[in-house]
Each structure stands twice: as C-alpha cells, then as structure tokens.
Amino acid sequence: MAQPLEGLTAIVTGAGRGLGRAEALELARLGAQVVVNDYGQPGRDGSGEASAAPAEDVAAEIRAAGGRAVAHLGDVADHAQARALVQLAVETYGKLDILVNNAGILRDRMVFSMTEDEWDSVIRVHLKGHFNTTHFAAVHWRERAKAAGGPVHGRIINTSSEAFLAGSAGQPNYAAAKGGIVGLTTSTALALGKYGVTANAICPRARTRMTEDVFAGFQEPEDGALDPLAPEHVAPLVGYLAAPAAAQVNGQLLVVHGGMVAIAERPRIAAKFDTAKEVFSYAELDELLTPYYAQRPANETFAAAEVLGLKHG
C-alpha cells in the first residue's frame, strides 16, 4: 500500500533535534525522502560552533529505518545558504515538494532590557530564515508549474508560536517574529495557491531544548506513557499538511499539542463605532471607547487563548 508522501521530497529546517527531528522522522515514515537541515549550534541562543552531526545523525536514523535522507549543514537565515539547501533537494531527488520551516533560536529579555543584537538575531533566524527558504521554494514551484502548464504539489508548513497568540512578556523579539511568520504564511498562501502550493502555520507546544525552562514544572510520565508534551504529538499534523489530502487547507493557523489540534480564526471585529460628525473628536472617542473598555475584563485579550488551553507567558 502506497504511503501518502511516497515519491515526494521534503526539506525540514532545524531538524537535528526536538520538533524538527520528530517532523523529519514522521515525513520519512510516511514515504517522503528528506533533506535534514540543521546548523548544529549547541546553544539554544544560537551560540557555539556549527556542527553537521545533529543533521547527519537524523539522516542516518531515517536511512537505518529504510528511508531516504541527506543532511545539510547550513544557516537558513543566510540567503545564499538557503538557496543551496533548496538546490540540494532538487539536485539529489529531482524536485522539492514539501518545505517545513522549524529552525529558530531564543534570546529572551524584557523589552526594556533587550539589546539591538538580541532583537535582530531572533528576527533574523526565525522570520528571515522562513522567508529565505520560502522564496527559493516558491521560485522552484512557480517554474515547475509553468513548465507543466498546471498546478504542482507544493506544501509549506511554517512554525509560529503561542507566544504570538497569547503574548509572552519576556519574548518581544520571539513573539514579533512568530507573528511575522503568520503574516508571511497567509501572504504566501494567497500568492502561490494558483500554482497548487499551500502554506500553513502551526503553533506547537512541545518539550524541547527551546522550551526546557517553560515546561520545567511539568514532569514526564513515569509509567512509560508518551509524554503529553512530546514532539511526536506535533509531527503527525505536519505529515498531514504535507500530503495531497490537505490540498484544501491553505492560509491556516493551527494550534497543536498533546493529542489536540485547534484551528484558529483570523481576527474578527469585536465592536464598531461611527462618528456623529464628519471627523472624530477626542471628546467623542472618549465618550465611546472609555466606557466600552471599562466594562470589558482587563485580561480579556488572553481569555480567548484560555479556551484553547493555552498558557500565557
């Protein structure tokens, strides 16, 4: 029986550890041939010497299980290296069909303490890194669609975060980057839909090197059961979004963790006020808006997140 991703080629960035590793293994299990990308720096803040070992280890794990995989050591936030990553997939397997953007770093600080470098480095790896690989994948798919005279199979799965949905006081850089990724995703979905390409974003919750302090108080099960925060809870959704079955899923944001998938709606208008004159005055806005906000719960911004079981902070 054919696997859903049989004959398809996938790139997974940041795939040497954690979520990326679980996603790469899942895509391979579903039949895809995988380019495992990881820059291999040991520090979750992007510090330390780059190493090919994490990517090579995961690629070897896939091959040992009977799959096909190659490793790529490269910084996806570097435009030229992102180009080389996409070229490697095409040169090795003939085409690219699936792009999973997962690479990222953390440099947490309150906004009043954050340095310019801490801001720039996180935006660079997350947001620019997502753009770079998306750009070169999009060029590839557009050219293939034109040559074929019709749509091709193209899937982009980007990684956002609950830090964007519910806020995160000590992560202004990370939250902004993850919000930007959602904007990049929806724009890409609109631009590439006519070529048969979909672009979606996930907000995963998982116990990884990136979140080791966030989930420090949540102990892993001792009875051998799968950890509710294991990356393996996230990987199946990535596999589904990469498959032909998800052709109608485009421009979506999905929250996933511990056996749950929630589909987030785009922001809706909560209230609307019209001026009684040609232009609003300060007094009129004060008369309309101040009572409106006074009667709303102070934490209502985060109340919607709690419905999904999301943790603020």
- Whether 161 is a known active-site residue: answer yes
Neighbours of 63 (CB within 10 A): 14
- Whether 95 is a known active-site residue: answer no
Neighbours of 157 (CB within 10 A): 27
- Whether 277 is a known active-site residue: answer no
Beta-bridged to residue 159, according to DSSP, are 202
Q: Give ∠ CA 68-73-74 in degrees, rounded to 5.
A: 125
* Distance, CA of 188 to CA of 247 (rounded, Å): 15
Which of 121, 128, 160, 178 is an active site residue? 178
Which of 39, 93, 174, 195 is an active site residue? 174
Q: Identify whether the C-beta of residue 39 lies closer than 8 Å to the C-beta of residue 75.
A: yes
Which of 121, 160, 161, 168 is an active site residue? 161
DSSP codes of every residue in the chain: ---TTTT-EEEETTTTSHHHHHHHHHHHHTT-EEEEE----SSTTS-S---SHHHHHHHHHHHHTT--EEEE---TTSHHHHHHHHHHHHHHHS---EEEE---------TTT--HHHHHHHHIIIIIHHHHHHHHHHHHHHHHHHHHTS---EEEEEE--HHHHH--TT-HHHHHHHHHHHHHHHHHHHHHGGGTEEEEEEEE---SGGGTTTTTTSPPPSSSPPPTT-GGGTHHHHHHHHSGGGTT--S-EEEEETTEEEEEPPP--------SSSS--HHHHHHHHHHHHHTS-TTHHHHHHHHTTPPP-
- Catalytic (active-site) positions: 161, 174, 178
